[in-house]
Amino acid sequence: MTQTPFYTKLKKRGKIVVSGVDRIDFLQSLISNDVTLLDQQDCVYSCLLTPQGKFIYDFFITEINGDSLLMDCEGGERLQSLAKLLGMYKLRADVTIELQDNSDVYAIIGAKYGTKDPRHPDMGYRSFEKPDGLEEKPFEEWDMHRISLTIPDGSRDMIPNKSTLSEGNIDKLNGLSYEKGCYIGQELTARMHYRGLAKKHLQTIKLDALPEKSELRSSCGDIGIVLVRI
C-alpha cells in the first residue's frame, strides 16, 4: 500500500555554519564520513566521535552559497557543546563557526521536497522550509516511521561517550566511510568493524517482547529501538 505523503516538524534542531577556506579539510579531519561526497550528493550524514571511538554527535551536512557547510544537528545544549568542541579543534584552521538554535527542520515522507535524507531510501527528504501542498502530521507519526526502519535519532538512541557506531549500525546508514582516511576515533572504529568486535546492535522490537538484559532507547506506539546482544 502506498503511503500518503506527509511532513513533520522535527523537535529541538539547530544549525552550525562552518565557513572559510579550510572548512572542508577541517571537518574531513574530524568526522566519520567523507565530506567530499558533497560533490556527488546534496547531503552527507556523519558523526563526531571521541578519540576512543565513542559516539558524541550526529548531523547532516549540506553546502550553502558555495562557500559554507551547514550542519543540521540536535539543538539546545547539544548544539552549544558541539559548537564549543569544534572551536577547540579549530586551532589555526581558517574557519568561522556560527550557530543558530531553535531551527525549523521538516522531515518529508513520500514526496520529493528539499534534500534527500541519505540514511535510508524510505526516510524521505529534509527541508528548512515548510513544505507546501502536503499534509502535516504529528511528530509521533514520523517517529513511528523512523523507529520501524531502525534509524537512531541522535542521543535519543545512541548514548554520548558510550555508544559505538557499530552498535548504532551507522555504517549501514551511510554515516561512516572506511576509505576516507584518518579522523577522530577512526582507528578503534575500523578495528571493531574489520574484527567483528561489536557484540550488541540496535534493533526494532515490539515493546511487549523485549529480550532480557536489553536496553530500550526511543519508542513510539508499540515499538521501540532496543540495544540487544547478538
Q: Do 58 and 46 contact (CB within 8 A), yes or no?
A: yes
The pLDDT > 90 percentage for the chain reads 94
* Mean pLDDT (the chain, rounded): 96
CATH of the domain at 75: 3.30.1360.120
Q: Summarize the confidence of residues 162-191 as an average pLDDT.
A: 95
137 belongs to a structural domain:
yes
Residue closest to 51 by CA, chosen among 171, 189, 175, 152 = 189
Coil, helix or strand for 198? coil
Residue closest to 129 by CA, chosen among 15, 44, 9 = 9
Q: Summarize the confidence of residues 80-107 as an average pLDDT.
A: 97
Structural domain that includes position 97: 6-229
pLDDT at position 2: 46
Coil, helix or strand for 119? coil
197 belongs to a structural domain:
yes
169 belongs to a structural domain:
yes
pLDDT at position 1: 38
1 belongs to a structural domain:
no
pLDDT at position 154: 98
Band of pLDDT at residue 134, cut at 50, 70 and 90 = very high
The amino acid that residue 199 corresponds to is K
pLDDT at position 193: 86
Distance CA 222, CA 10 (A): 21
pLDDT, tens digit (0-9, with 9 covering 90-100), for 180-221: 989 999 999 999 888 877 899 999 999 999 999 999 999 999
The total number of structural domains in the chain stands at 1
Distance CA 61, CA 38 (A): 8
pLDDT, tens digit (0-9, with 9 covering 90-100), for 147-160: 999 999 999 999 99
Coil, helix or strand for 205? strand
pLDDT at position 215: 96
Buried b (16+ CB within 10 A) or exposed e, 7-28: bbebebbbbbbbbbebbbebbb
pLDDT, tens digit (0-9, with 9 covering 90-100), for 14-66: 999 999 999 999 999 999 999 999 999 999 999 999 999 999 999 999 999 99
132 belongs to a structural domain:
yes
Give how far the C-alpha of residue 223 lies from the chain's centroid of Cα atoms, to the nearest Å.
21
Band of pLDDT at residue 3, cut at 50, 70 and 90 = confident
214 belongs to a structural domain:
yes
Dihedrals phi, psi of 28, to nearest 5 degrees = -60, -35
